[in-house]
Chain A
Amino acid sequence: MGHRVVITGYGIVSSIGLNAGEVLDSLIGGHSGIGGITRFETIHKGKLPLAEVKLSNKELVDHCGLRSVRNYTRTSLLGIAAAMQAAAMAGYAAGQELRTGLISATTVGGMDRSEDFYPPFLENSAKGRLREVVNHDCGDSTEKIAGFLGIRDYTTTISTACSSSANSLMLGAELIKAGMLDRVIAGGTDAVTRFTLNGFNTLMILDKEGCRPFDGNRAGLTIGEGAAFLVLETEENALKHGKPIYGILSGYGNANDAYHQTASSPEGTGAALAMKKALDMGSLLPADISYINVHGTGTQNNDLSEGIAVQNIFGENVPPFSSTKSFTGHTLGAAGAIEAVLSLLSIQQDAVFPNLRWSTPMKELYIKPVTELIRDAGLEHVMSNSFGFGGNNSSLVLSKYIP
């Protein structure tokens, strides 16, 4: 149980870049990935923004070196594109002696193709092409990624709404600490679909102008898509194999708000509990955290609840914080892992990325986000929050690697 779990590789695909380098350029340059809807036909085209990955499914197939688009959902293609970067960076190869697992996360799975299957099926249950629906389930994308990478020792999928892939990292670290696996590729993937776009629209929490996290005039979130995976292993293993170490997963915690199916409690009970658990696991005090990559969706409810929880945990000394969802949109099941990668990039660059589209303080809070890039930020421990439906609250602490 005393082992430190370190990060030896990471990969990311999002609306602001198809790899960590492109993503970093966008973050430094202040270029958001939020724009118009181009991926599918919807009545919301031209009215609601999205943060889409710029490649079509066909282009993603080519990008990943796959043969045919036929058996792949967009969720699995995004997942493969991110996981293959992480695996390559960590020097993973199938057949190595290290016991390696894959833990992925998704909320919609293959819904993008089920949406094509459903209209003819609704008319007549003997209609609709079966190959559009056989990849519907959440496990499908994980199996596709595992097949692509040749993972054999363990494979599973987590779905806890918008905290899903933060929870993948948590499980990965626990399996390593229990000595059951030597190495885990953990993260998540989600494609934008009409299902989620319309679902969040019925809740009236989509900002027509693009999300404005922690702004007094914020009007909701912006849905994004993408995937990210991190390679976790014990420090001993990484050192033994001479691998570069990019950071430590030093703390994590999951707690339930137990307040409402979708709304967060006014006092941010679950959020505060998750942050406290993550700090305790890392034997850290609030003052040790040098930056918080907040959940910060841009909804009235989340940002107020999270802001109050942050104030309660950190008191008068709240560290610099920002929501990178202002760049990537809210990538749902992939958000936890995407933001863990962005937190690592922050540590690597010693930079705090700004919270875009912010202009007005929230009158209920005494804190406000970072709105300009901070360099030489002196980052040691970065906290990353991910909260989801069902009151599912998770917090991670990623730390600079000091031998």
Chain B
Amino acid sequence: MVTTSDSIYINGLGNISPQKTSDNSNFLKEPVTSVTNRLACIEPNYRDFISPDILRRMGRLIKMGVASSRICLEDAGCSMPDAIITGTGLGCLEDTEKFLGTLVRNKEELLTPTSFIQSTHNTVSAQIALLLKCHNYNFTYVHRGWSFESALTDAMVQIKNGRASTVLAGGMDELTNGSFAITSRLGHWRRKPADTACLFSNPAKGSIAGEGSAFFLLSSAPGPSTYAVLSGLQTFNPKSLNNSLPAILEGFLGQAGMLPGDIDLALCGMNGDTSSDSIYKELTDSLGNSGIAAWKHLSGEYQTSSAFGLWMASMIMKSGDIPDQAVIRGTGERPVKTILIYNHHLGLNHSFILIRKP
């Protein structure tokens, strides 16, 4: 399914990630690199966003989600969105593990409700609504590598159908020791710590794990700090569509009134894993001379990492700068007016997000 529009604007951003991204005036000026197989968020001082008595009980993902949503709303100058829509692969995992762990250890006795309550997948969007006293539409999507894309699709549909003119949409996931242990056993991560500064020049099996929370204020009208126009989105599985990636892209761009040659920059979800990065090459080979950039050496791999990708694309569009450490193939003199974000999660959940200059 393809969603297109020519009048949906990205008017605000808020991003908490393993990079210094919580301040929108600093676009990856001091990139954080390390030799590791897992990245953790650089968290802001939450007291700047949330009162201490509320903060004390909040799980980590909730803090990250609420703070990044606040940064986003402030950036856009929006105090009350018409809808709040989030996407998360696994939700508040720390609380889920805590409740399940206590249940097992205590053999179902002496349990307390806090971690059970917070384990509910819509807790982040609910807490944002509660703190804003926002009575509007509030949805949460939980579909693996399409969680954030589903939230974004719904946000576009709400605006297209005239239900909302401003939508706060975001994607968030947290990495815990438990989930890292399980996904390591599943072979998702590098066995030996890798240098994130040269992840793509040292390909091997496995990627680096990550986490983050990124929000976007989408609006039917441009605002004082508009970053980009969100013009298209598609989630798909090439296998079930029984079609090649270049052909699927052509169909997608066709619905948005564009051709592959119109793409100035392809921002791709390469993660340094030799078993799945070749898929990206299949697409970029079909794009002629457009620039290519990547983000997962900065954010790590997780279900909603495309939200980091959209944040980066929005920043590139507004600033005109592609950070050196993100460039795979430069754009030369070509100005960046159209960016395609292409991501896949474990080869199953693929997505295209298309943004253009307002």
The residues of A with any CB-CB pair to B shorter than 8 Å are 1, 42-44, 99, 101, 106-107, 109, 111, 114-115, 118-119, 121-122, 125-126, 130, 133-134, 136-140, 142-143, 152-161, 167, 171, 174-175, 177-178, 180-181, 194-195, 198-199, 201-203, 254-262, 269-270, 273, 388-392
Contacts and interface: CB of A to CB of B under 8 A. Distances in A.
A262 B117 contact: yes
A324 B104 CA distance: 33
Contacts of B105: 122
Interface stretch (B153-161, B206-214, B223-231, B265-273): B153-161
B89 A137 contact: yes
Contacts of A260: 130
B139 A390 contact: no
A101 B199 CA distance: 37
Nearest to B162: A1
Given A126-B185, A256-B134, A390-B120, A157 B126 contact: no
Contacts of B89: 137, 139
21 contacts: A43-B109, A122-B104, A130-B185, A130-B186, A139-B143, A156-B150, A156-B235, A158-B139, A159-B120, A159-B142, A160-B125, A161-B120, A174-B157, A175-B1, A198-B108, A199-B117, A254-B139, A255-B138, A258-B134, A259-B130, A389-B120
Given A130-B182, A198-B103, A258-B129, A157 B142 contact: yes
B240 interface: yes
B122 A388 contact: yes
Interface centre among B84, B158, B182 (most CB of A within 10 A): B182
Nearest to A153: B1
B132 interface: yes
B104 A119 contact: yes
A205 to B, nearest CB: 10
Interface residues of B, number: 66
B276 interface: no
Given A139-B142, A256-B84, 14 more contacts: A111-B100, A121-B181, A122-B105, A139-B147, A143-B144, A156-B143, A174-B154, A199-B116, A203-B116, A203-B117, A261-B126, A389-B123, A390-B120, A390-B129
B34 to A, nearest CB: 23
Contact of B141 (A43, A111, A156, A201): A156
A125 B184 CA distance: 10
Contact of A255 (B137, B178, B181): B137
A114 B3 CA distance: 35
Secondary structure dominating the interface of A: mixed
Given A42-B108, A122-B104, A199-B116, A256 B129 contact: yes
A256 B126 contact: yes
Interface in B162-219: 162-163, 178, 181-182, 185-186
A156 B140 contact: no
B108 A194 contact: yes
Top 10 A-B pairs ranked by shortest CB distance?
A390-B126, A199-B116, A159-B121, A154-B1, A138-B142, A139-B144, A139-B143, A202-B113, A125-B181, A156-B150
Interface in B81-111: 84, 89-91, 99-101, 103-105, 107-109, 111
Contacts of A119: 104
Interface in B297-352: 348
A278 B131 CA distance: 25
B140 A199 contact: no
Contacts of B185: 126, 130
B141 A157 contact: yes
Contacts of B134: 256, 258
B161 A174 contact: yes
A101 B107 contact: no
B122 A392 contact: yes
A261 B240 contact: no
B138 A392 contact: yes
B275 interface: no
A44, A136, A139, most chain B CB atoms within 10 A: A139
B7 interface: no
B84 to A, nearest CB: 8
Nearest to A155: B143
B135 A180 contact: no
A389 B143 contact: no
